[in-house]
Amino acid sequence: MNDETERPAEDPRKAALAKARAAKAAKKAAASAATPPQAPSIADPEIDPDNIQLSAADLARIEAKAKAQIATERKKALESQALTAALEKIRGKAGLVTGNPEEDRLVTLTVDVGASADGIMINGMKRFHGQTVEVPLHVARSLMEICYRTQMHEEEISGKVRMLFKPRRVTLNRRNAGAVTARIAQGMGDAA
């Protein structure tokens, strides 16, 4: 049997269409071989913007950047804490600066404590009896209070204060009910 007889005749339109497709494919292959392949652009409709992923190298670079940023933040925080501690230490040695200009005003004070004490220690600084010091007003108030209390303590243990509370014999009866005593008269300026 002959091949030509068994095969039906091809449609001339299909043959022309196949020929045109082959020519178009050959032209496209020649054009792609002449130009290098381009990276897909963002405007390319084939890239889905919702389905973009980072490579392992990108993730490693981002992680290193994050670690460096956290390290700088921690360093700044530690420096801030150290600065605050140093300021408080210096302020404490300077007499506990309050920030109020009236309270931080320097005044001169002579330490005068009772005989049983040789001085006063405040904030690790010893101030001796008879010493004249220049301190902020709020510290001076504390020093004056302590000096007063040590003197009162000394008078209490020596018995001087007890004389003020010694009971007196005062009798009130009909005979001296309206009488003015010499003590009262001296205070009023009248002679009895």
Please name the helix (run of DSSP H) or strand (run of DSSP E) that holds residue 78, with its range, or none.
helix 56-93
- What is the three-class DSSP state of 123? coil
- What is the three-class DSSP state of 108? strand
Task: Tell me the domain boundaries of the chain.
Answer: 100-165
Residue 153 CA to residue 147 CA, distance in Å, equals: 10
First to last CA, the chain: 175
Whether pTM > 0.75 for this model: the answer is no
Count, residues in the chain: 192
Q: Which amino acid is at 139?
A: V
Percent pLDDT > 90 in the chain is 17
pLDDT digits (tens, 9 = 90+) for 64-113: 999 999 999 999 999 999 998 888 777 666 556 666 778 878 889 899 88
Q: What share of the chain is helix, strand, coil (3-state, %, to 5)?
A: 55, 10, 40
Name which residue leads in pLDDT, 51 or 129.
Answer: 129
Contact of 137 with 105, CB cutoff 8 Å? yes
pLDDT for the residue numbered 89: 76
Residue 187 CA to residue 178 CA, distance in Å, equals: 17
Q: Which two tokens stand for residue 158?
A: 């020596």
Q: Which amino acid is at 26?
A: A
Q: Which amino acid is at 68?
A: A
